Every structure is written in structure tokens, then in C-alpha cells.
Structure 1
Amino acid sequence: MSNALVNGLAGAGGGIIAQIISYPLQTVNTRQQTERVAKTKRGGRSPPGAGGTLVQIFKVVRGEGWGGLYSGLKPSLLGTAASQGIYYYFYQVFKNKAEAIAIAHRNNGRGDGTVGMFSWLVVAAIAGSFNVLLTNPIWVLVTRMQTHTQAERKVIEAKREALLMEASESNFIGSTLQDKLAQLDSTKPSPYGTLHAAREVYNEAGITGFWKGIIPTLIMVCNPSIQFMIYESSLKHLRAKRSSNKQGINNVTALEVFLLGALAKLGATMSTYPLLVVKSRLQAKQEIGGSMLRYSGTFDAIMKMIRFEGLSSFYKGMSTKIVQSVFAASVLFMVKEELVKAFVVLADKCQKFRLNIVK
């Protein structure tokens, strides 16, 4: 089995485990990112999604049950397995090529035979682009499912405002109005599965709707690029230090990999977070924005966010994302490295078994 395939399978396994553990934080973070409140409303009451991460988790559990924190988990696990598998496979393929080129340059008297930071960036960017183009439809559905309740709430609020405005213009407030308002207040979000979300996206924008947010997502390829540049450079430095101390180049513990993964993801997340917010808003139902804060594309979203909500809107839910992404990335790296080691041990045992049979 090639090392690219081994890394792809290990990345998929690590990604699934990390996703299951950190998914409630991801759901809350997506709702924080997509909540749209114009600056003129900031002096009034807080929006339904306001509050810290723990407060919002309790609100979701109280209003939707524990299942609300896991909306869209099934397609998310599929997306995680596909994303991590595709990413790590192509990453290892291009990493092998980069290392072969570096060795060839050393043999020709150029360089020391190791891959530089810029090469790590290029390798990660190419692998990330393949991943984004192939898996974006899955993440559109996940975002829709995570924010479905949020969008339904906005629709109900708009209907309530319309009823009250109609009543005030006609100077009529009676039992009929009270009945309609009570009916709206008792309305619960309709069931929303993966196929429902897919049909809705297709009816809204056709097949291209499954690639909503592709521009900021492609730009965000620099996130894993930065992440892997920090990770690989730190890992290389640690292994070089261990080698110089005669401790063995592979003597890196799972805890050290966990910490390196956390450091790498922290740096990448902080530098690319605004793009993540724009992507989530484009992929979510536009009903969340009411009649004014709806977006027709990436540039329109950026301009309206600056105009109506201010620059701070690009960093909504950032603290939640840092906790979720850093923890998930740390778990992913740790599990992936351990799975790769397990694959290597298993392959060695299979090889020895075959040799014994031949003898």
C-alpha cells in the first residue's frame, strides 16, 4: 500500500473522530457566523443567537434538544472523510514529489535536500484546491442543515412583523390577530434532512448552487497551507533536534504531535477567519438576513457586511472557532499519526508473514 493511500485513510479516520468530538462547537460557530444584525439594531435587544458559546449551546439544547447540536452530522462525517482522505492523499503525493525534487537539487549541488517553507505552502495549496473543488457541495448541505432552525426563526419573525405592521396600519387589533400571532409562536421548524436540503439548494440556484462560497473557500486554501507550513516546519525542527541528541528521528510522542497541531491550526485560523465567515454566510439560507442582508455573491457579501454591520462582523464567533478548530486539528493530527504508525506495523507483520510462508 502506497504511503499516499495510507496517509489518505489515516487522515479520513482522524478527521471523523475529531469531527464527532467537536461537532457541537462547529454547529454553534456556524450559527454565530451567519447571524446578521445591522448596526442600527445594536442599541436594541440582543438577537436570538447572542451570548457566549456555552450560553448558545444551552439555548440550542433547550429549544431543539441535543439533536440540534448535531444537525447535519451525517453529511458532515461524509464530508470530513472525503475531505481528509482526498486532502491527505494528494498532499502526500505532492509531498513525495517535492521531497524527490529537493533530493535531486541536493545531488546537483543545490540545497540540503530538505523541502523549504514555500514548497510546503505550494504542496498544501494544490492539495487543498483539489479537496475544495470535489467536496464543496457536501459542505453547502452541512451549512444549510446547521442553520435551518436559524433561518426558520427569521422567517417567523418577518411574518410577525408583517402582521403587526398590517394591524397598525388598519388600526385593528383583535382576537384574529392574537390567534395568528399565537400560531406563529407555536410553529416549530419543519423536518430538514439531507435530501430536503439538496432539493432546496437545486431549486434556488441549480447545480451551481452546490458551489456557493467557492471563491472565499478557494482563497481559504491558504488556511491549511499556513497550518501545514507551521506543522511540518515545527515537526522537522523537533526531529532534527532529537536526531542531534541521538534520540532517533522518529521519537515524537502523540502529545507533541497534538501540541504542534494545535499551534499550527491556531495560527492558520486567526489569519483566515474573515473568509470563513463570508463562506458560511453565502452557503446558509439567505432568509437569515431578512430582506436587507441577503447576498448575491462574495463581493456583495463583503460590501454589505462592512456597510451594515461593520468590520467586527468578520470575526463573529471567532473564539468558538479557535477552540473548536484547534482542538479538532490537534485530535486529527494525533490520531492520523498513530494510524499511520499502526498501518506501518501491520504492513511489516504482513510482509514477515508472507516471507515465512515462502520459506
Structure 2
Amino acid sequence: MSNAVANGLAGAGGGIIAQILTYPLQTVNTRQQTERIDVKTAKKKEIRGSSGDRGEERSILERGTQSRGTLLQVLQVIRTEGWGGLYSGLKPSLFGTATSQGIYYYFYQIFKNRAEYIAASRKRKGKGDGTVGMFSWLLVAAVAGCLNVLCTNPIWVLVTRMQTQTQAERKIMERKRQTILMEASENFAADLTPFEEKLAKHDALKPIPYGTIRAATEVYSESGIFGFWKGIVPTLMMVCNPSIQFMIYETSLKRLKSKRTADRRGVKNVSAWEVFLLGALAKLGATVTTYPLLVVKSRLQAKQEIGGDLTHRYTGTLDAILKIFEYEGFRGFYKGMGTKIIQSVFGASVIFMVKEEFVKAYLAFAEKKTGNSS
């Protein structure tokens, strides 16, 4: 087994473990990102709501849709949808994670080996110190990331749809409920029994998550085959996320190994815990830098009924950016970032730790096998 294949399998294994551990946070975070509230309109309704019962009701409803804390949202999903609601789309997500991590680490290792070979060749020619520079790390991660995105984007479109399905259905149900209430208020003097029965029947309904096939059918019926590559532009732009992540990680790891070598403690003394911390640091820097792109991507890939307003439906990347800024302000690009930082930093740390330990075990096994054969 080649070094690239070993790294690909290690990355896939680490990705699956991290995905299972952090998936509930991913589900909540995706819902936070795709929650669309017109801040200006909400403020106007709240001002109007200060006088009169109906206005007060609208104000309360509007405030009720504001983002809650991560833990409260997790508990709310469990209460309304059960534990299964936190794991909507887990199967395609695990497949996507294994595929994505495998493809990424495989190509990353190939391009990394090439970059190190070029750096060593330059050193032999007296053109450098033989180490791979920061720009080269960025380029290696970017190329591997682009190949990964083009191959796996359809999977993540389905995952986003499945994670936000109940949220979209709940929005539709809320609008229907408000319509029933408005009809009842307009016919206040008439018999309200039909409206009460209609409302009771409506409130008994609950949004039900759907499966992978239905999600795929819905995407295809809405946008054809190209619908599976929705959000590809911000996703490709987000290639800079792992690029920044791996630049920080590789640079920090190289410095730590150099320090250990200088202290005569040996390169192999980098522990799994230290790799975990380096992975967390790298992912934190990358997430804070690129989070707005992740919000735009999720908005484009989610079912457009969320929000129930044409002004909150997006025709493309630029349209999404302009509308988010216009209706939600700068803060709209950072919805749910706290949840994402916790999820992604922990997840990336697990991936790096598992991957490094797997590769170490493989190298030790290969070295032992070579020693026995000789």
C-alpha cells in the first residue's frame, strides 16, 4: 500500500469517527445558517406591536424565531423530532465524509510528496533549504480541495436538504397556521367552529424528515442535474479553508518537530494529544476566516421555501450575498458560528489525531514487515 493510499484511508477513517461524534452539532449549525429573518422588518413589527394585542402577538412570534443557544436548539430538536432529528442525513453524510476525506487526503499526499521532491531538488541545486514553503502548502491543499469539491458536492447538497427539511416544513406550516388565524379573525362574528377544527387538525401535523431518494428526486425536479452542484462557487472558494487549515497545521507541526530535534528528543515524540491541539488551532483559524462562505453555500443548497419570502430566495452566489447583507446585515454571515467552531474544531482535531495514529501504525507495520523479509 502506497503512502498516499494509507493517508487516504486514514483520513476517511478519522472523518467517519469525527462525523458520528459531531453530527448533532452539524445539524443544528446548518439550521442556524439557513434561518432567514429580515431584521429590518422584524424591528418594524416589534415597534408596531407595542400597541394592541395583535401587534403584540406578531412581536412575540417574531422574537420566537430568533436564534437560540446551541444547547437549547439541540434539546428543542429532540423534543419535537426525537433523536432521529439530530441525525437526519447521517447515512449520506458518512458516505460523503469517507469519500471526501479519502479523496482529499489521497490527492493531498500525492501533491505533498511532489512538493517535497521539488523542494529537495531545488536544495541540491543550491536554491533553498529543502523545505516546502507556506505558499506551496497552500497550493497543495487548494488543488486537492478543488478535486474533492467537484467530486463530492452532490452528496453535500443532499445532506443539507435532509438536515433542513423539517425546518423548511415547519416554516410552511407556520404560514398556514397564520393564514387560518387571519381567516378566523376576519370572520370573528361568524361561527368559529370550522376554523377551530381546521386549526386543531393543522396543529396535529408534524414535519417528517425524508430520505436520500426523496431528497435527490426533489433536487432534480427543481433544478435538473445541475441542482446537485448548487453552491459550487462558494464551495470552491471555501477550498481556502482547508488550505489555511493545512498551512497552519503543517507549519506548526514542522516547527514542533524542529524544536524536538534541536532538543535531541527525536522527531517521533509528537504525541497524539499534541496533534489534537495543533489540529484544533488550525481549524479554528480556518473556520473564522471562511465562515461567511459556508453560510452562503448552505443557503443555496437548502430548500428555498425556508423564509417564505421571494426576497429570501437566491438565484446564485452574488444574489445570496447581496440579500443576506441587505436584509440581515453583516451579522447574517456569521449565524451559528459558535456552534460551527465547537463542531469543526473538535471534528478536525479527531480527524488529525486518528489519521496520524493510523499512519504511524501503518509505517511501523511496514517497517517491521520489511525487517522480517530481509
Q: One fold, TM greater than 0.5?
A: yes
Q: Which amino acid aligns with 2:298?
A: S
Q: Deviations over 1:160-210 (max 9, x none)?
A: 233334445566562111222222211112350011111111111001010
Q: Which amino acid aligns with 1:77?
A: L
* Structure 2 partner of 1:56: 73
* Structure 2 partner of 1:319: 338
Q: Structure 2 matches for 1:192-211, cutoff 5 A? A: 192-211=210-229
Contact 1:10 1:340 in 2 (8 A): yes
* Structure 1 partner of 2:16: 16
Match of residue 351, structure 2, among 332, 345, 353: 332
Q: Deviations over 1:82-119 (max 9, x none)?
A: 00000000000000111111111111110100000000
Aligned: 1:41 with 2:42: yes
* Structure 2 partner of 1:126: 143
* Structure 1 partner of 2:55: none
Match of residue 256, structure 1, among 274, 287, 291: 274
Please state how far the C-alpha of 1:291 moved relative to its aligned partner. Answer: 2.0
Q: Which amino acid aligns with 1:140?
A: V
SS at match of 1:250: helix
Q: Which amino acid aligns with 1:54?
A: L
Q: Which amino acid aligns with 1:41?
A: A
* Structure 2 partner of 1:301: 320
Aligned: 1:68 with 2:85: yes
SS at match of 1:147: helix
Please state how far the C-alpha of 1:344 moved relative to its aligned partner. Answer: 1.4
Q: Distance in 2 between matches of 1:352 and 1:74?
A: 41
Please state how far the C-alpha of 1:247 moved relative to its aligned partner. Answer: 1.2
Match of residue 176, structure 2, among 148, 156, 159: 159
Q: Distance in 2 between matches of 1:49 and 1:183?
A: 27
Q: Which amino acid aligns with 2:30?
A: T
SS at match of 1:86: helix
Q: Which amino acid aligns with 1:84?
A: Q
Q: Which amino acid aligns with 2:233?
A: I
Q: TM-score, normalised by structure 1?
A: 0.96
Contact 2:166 2:209 in 1 (8 A): no
Please state how far the C-alpha of 1:329 moved relative to its aligned partner. Answer: 0.4
* Structure 2 partner of 1:80: 97
Q: Deviations over 1:323-352 (max 9, x none)?
A: 110000011100000011111122234334
Q: Distance in 1 between matches of 2:80 and 2:67?
A: 15
Contact 1:32 1:49 in 2 (8 A): no
Aligned: 1:283 with 2:301: yes
Q: Which amino acid aligns with 1:280?
A: S
Please state how far the C-alpha of 1:157 moved relative to its aligned partner. Answer: 1.2
How many residues end up aligned between the 2 structures? 355
Contact 1:217 1:276 in 2 (8 A): yes
* Structure 2 partner of 1:215: 233
Q: Which amino acid aligns with 1:33?
A: Q
Q: Distance in 2 between matches of 1:134 and 1:145?
A: 20
Q: TM-score, normalised by structure 2?
A: 0.92
Q: Deviations over 1:276-331 (max 9, x none)?
A: 00101111111112123111111111111111111111000000100110000011
Contact 2:184 2:192 in 1 (8 A): no
Compared CA separation, residues 329 and 302, structure 1 to 2 (3 A): same
What runs of 5+ residues in structure 2 fail to find an aligned partner? Answer: 47-58
SS at match of 1:113: coil
* Structure 1 partner of 2:199: 181
* Structure 1 partner of 2:132: 115
Q: Which amino acid aligns with 2:205?
A: T
* Structure 1 partner of 2:50: none
Compared CA separation, residues 124 and 115, structure 1 to 2 (3 A): same
Q: Distance in 2 between matches of 1:324 and 1:342?
A: 27
Aligned: 1:344 with 2:363: yes
Match of residue 156, structure 2, among 132, 139, 143: 139
SS at match of 1:295: coil
CA RMSD of aligned residues (A): 1.4
Q: Distance in 2 between matches of 1:344 and 1:49?
A: 51
Q: Distance in 2 between matches of 1:297 and 1:162?
A: 30
Greater Cα offset, 122-131 or 301-310: 301-310
Contact 2:248 2:282 in 1 (8 A): yes
Q: Distance in 2 between matches of 1:75 and 1:49?
A: 29
Q: Distance in 2 between matches of 1:47 and 1:221?
A: 35
Q: Deviations over 1:130-182 (max 9, x none)?
A: 00000000001111111111001011012223333444556656211122222
Q: Distance in 2 between matches of 1:217 and 1:299?
A: 13
Q: Distance in 1 between matches of 2:173 and 2:191?
A: 19
Contact 1:37 1:47 in 2 (8 A): no
Contact 1:27 1:71 in 2 (8 A): yes
